[in-house]
Amino acid sequence: MRARERHGTVMAAGCLVLLGAMGSAQDKPEAKGPARHIQQERFWANLQKLSEFGKNPEGGVSRVGFTEADLAGRMYVMGLMREAGLTVRVDPAGNIFGRRAGMENLPVLLFGSHTDSVPHGGNFDGDVGTLGAIEVIHALNEAKVKTRHPLEVVSWTNEEGGRFYSGLFGSSAAAGILPADVAERKDDAGQKLSDWLMRMGGDASRIAAARIAPASVAGYLELHIEQGGRLDEANVPIGVVQGIVGINFRTCTATGFANHAGTTPMDRRQDALAAASRAVLAVREEVRGEPGRQVGTVGWMRIEPGASNVIPGRVVFPVEVRDLDAGKIEHVAARILQRFEVIGREENVQIDCTQPDLHPPALTTPAFQDAIRASAREAGLTTMDLPSGALHDAQNAARFAPMGMIFVPSRGGISHAPMEYSSPEQVANGAEVLYRTLLRVDETK
């Protein structure tokens, strides 16, 4: 059976499922517009259940990677995968895969996202793509659609980089780009990455085996919230991602001399916080120093010893620079380091930064962009092309497979915050486009 015919069958079956969920065909008028395969209510209910794991008082979640809340969320996701009939496995990097067999002996079509969050994060970043992928599997099962390719839903480990690594941990392992020392990393409390990986069903000593061979994946798709305000402002339901920014991330330490705040004259101080504060402003100045969409951020500071009557002797802070152009990231980051040297000399404070964790930018595959646009059109949804300023595991997947990303609107452009929100209809629109795009790619690859 040709996939396009399968598509027609699916639409009819999906329509019946939708009517079944809402009442009988006799007592309800037929829904307007193209048929839907996704069950919006089920998808939304699962998202709400996931938001119980690591729930925070502000209404979002703190489900930071490699924490108890993360482990609990992962268990919930594995249960959902099994309920959808997927065969579940966990690779040495803790990535969770749920497989559905295909009709032909072909490489897999991989799709999914992550379920870890930033501290005090929201309920949609990553969750929509992971649970949206599982919803697509339910819809395929209900419509009795068989695909040519095997399908794998993936939930990547520690996308946000809360602990031990800067971000995109699991997909970096899959792309074979984790730094050599990563398996030995410990946090400030002495907890080991390797112990957490073991609790997740992974194995730090075998992390190299998490690498995915290019020939084994026919394509990667990720559904995600936009996390910016462009779709919301333009009232467009579907974003077609053109590319994902790269990042240069370092941890820097300003080392001065901790001394008495009352007795040390102002011209004899080696104030690490004064130097670090100037460094934060220098990051902003250097990033703004040329035209373009590049951004740079210092997201936190640890001040030691941290007493009001002691001059700070040591300050630790991260510096990240992002852009779609790898060359621009490199030269802006280099200029920032030069500024730190000057500030260090002027303040009599040593500022040292680690070697960078680098995630290169990635462009999405044009054929996948076309498939997303055509699928949205078929579902009666308008689209906008846009870049992603947030990182995504998709940029690592682009190293081993053609890659595409679908965005849905984020209310007010708010993300990485408890008020992050996309409506039930908006996330279901995204999953519907994912469903249709997957079948298109299955047909043509």
Binds 121: which of Mn ion, ligand GLV, none (CB < 5-8 Å by kind): none
Cα dihedral 55, 58, 59, 64 sign:
negative
Instruction: From the list ligand GLV, Mn ion, none, pick the one residue 246 interacts with, judged by a Cβ distance below 5 to 8 Å according to partner type.
Output: none
Nearer to ligand GLV, 280 or 295 (CB): 295
Closest CA to 410 of 420, 419, 400, 399: 420
Residue 391 binds: one of ligand GLV, Mn ion, none (C-beta under 5 to 8 A by kind): ligand GLV
237 binds, among ligand GLV, Mn ion, none (CB under 5 to 8 A by kind): none
Measured over the CA atoms of residue 26, residue 31, residue 35 and residue 41, the dihedral's sign is: negative
CB-hemisphere CA count at 13 Å for 119?
5
CB closer to Mn ion, 40 vs 395: 395
Beta carbons within 8 Å of 319's beta carbon, 6+ residues apart: 249, 250, 252, 279, 283, 296, 297, 298, 333, 336, 353
Q: Which is nearer to ligand GLV, 167 or 202 (CB)?
A: 167
Q: Please, is 251 exposed, middle or buried when counting C-beta atoms within 10 Å of its C-beta (0-12, 13-18, 19+)?
A: middle
347 or 420, CB closer to Mn ion?
420
Choose the contact partner of 239 out of Mn ion, ligand GLV, none; CB within 5 to 8 A by kind.
none
* Nearest Cα to Cα of residue 178 among 164, 199, 190, 188: 164
In angstroms, give the least distance from the CB of 159 to ligand GLV: 7
DSSP state of 417: S
For ligand GLV, give the closer residue by CB, 50 or 379.
50
Nearest to 358 by CA among 222, 211, 190, 175: 175
The answer to whether the beta carbons of residues 425 and 40 sit under 8 Å apart is yes
Q: How far is the CB of 123 from ligand GLV (least distance, A)?
A: 14
Q: How far apart are CA 328 and CA 339, in angstroms?
A: 17
Closest approach of Cβ 314 to Mn ion, in Å? 29
As to burial, measured by CB atoms within 10 angstroms (0-12 exposed, 13-18 middle, 19+ buried), residue 79 is: exposed
Half-sphere exposure (Cβ direction) of 156: Cα atoms closer than 13 Å: 32
d(CA 343, CA 340): 5
Residues at the interface with ligand GLV (CB under 6 A): 160, 167, 390-391
The rounded Cα 372 to chain-centroid distance in angstroms is: 19
Question: What tokens does 438 get?
Answer: 């997957």
For the chain, state the CA radius of gyration.
24
- E strand or H helix that includes residue 408: strand 403-408
Choose among ligand GLV, Mn ion, none what residue 122 binds, the Cβ cut-off being 5 to 8 Å by kind: none
CB of residue 266 vs ligand GLV: minimum separation in angstroms?
A: 39
Could you tell me whether strands 238-244 and 403-408 are parallel, antiparallel, or unpaired per DSSP bridges?
Answer: antiparallel
Cβ proximity to Mn ion: between 17 and 241 the closer is: 241
Name which of 167 and 387 has its Cβ closer to ligand GLV: 167
| CA atoms of 217 and 311, how far apart (whole Å) | 55
Task: Report in angstroms how near the CB of residue 118 gets to ligand GLV at its nearest.
Answer: 7
Q: Minimum CB separation from Mn ion for residue 377, in Å? A: 26
For residue 390, the minimal CB distance to Mn ion (Å) is 6
Specify the residue, 269 or 328, whose C-beta has the smaller distance to ligand GLV.
Answer: 328
Which stretches of the chain bind Mn ion, using CB under 5 A? 125-126
* Residue 167 interacting partner from Mn ion, ligand GLV, none (CB closer than 5 to 8 Å by kind): ligand GLV
Q: Assess whether the previous peptide bond of 305 is cis (omega < 30° from 0).
A: yes
Nearer CB in complex with ligand GLV: 18/231: 231
Secondary structure of 388-441 in HEC code, one letter for each residue = ECCCCCHHHHCCCCCEEEEEECCHHHCCCCCCCCCCHHHHHHHHHHHHHHHHHH
- Residue nearer to ligand GLV on the CB measure, 54 or 344: 54
Q: In the complex, what is the shortest distance from the CB of residue 46 to ligand GLV, in angstroms, rounded to a whole number? A: 21
Closest distance to ligand GLV from the beta carbon of 396 (Å): 12
Interatomic CA distance for residues 216 and 213, integer angstroms: 6
Least distance from ligand GLV to the Cβ atom of residue 382, Å: 26
If the CB atoms of residues 121 and 219 are measured against ligand GLV, the closer one turns out to be: 121
What whole-number distance in Å separates Cα of residue 226 and Cα of residue 210?
Answer: 28
* Shortest distance (Å) from residue 233 CB to ligand GLV: 20
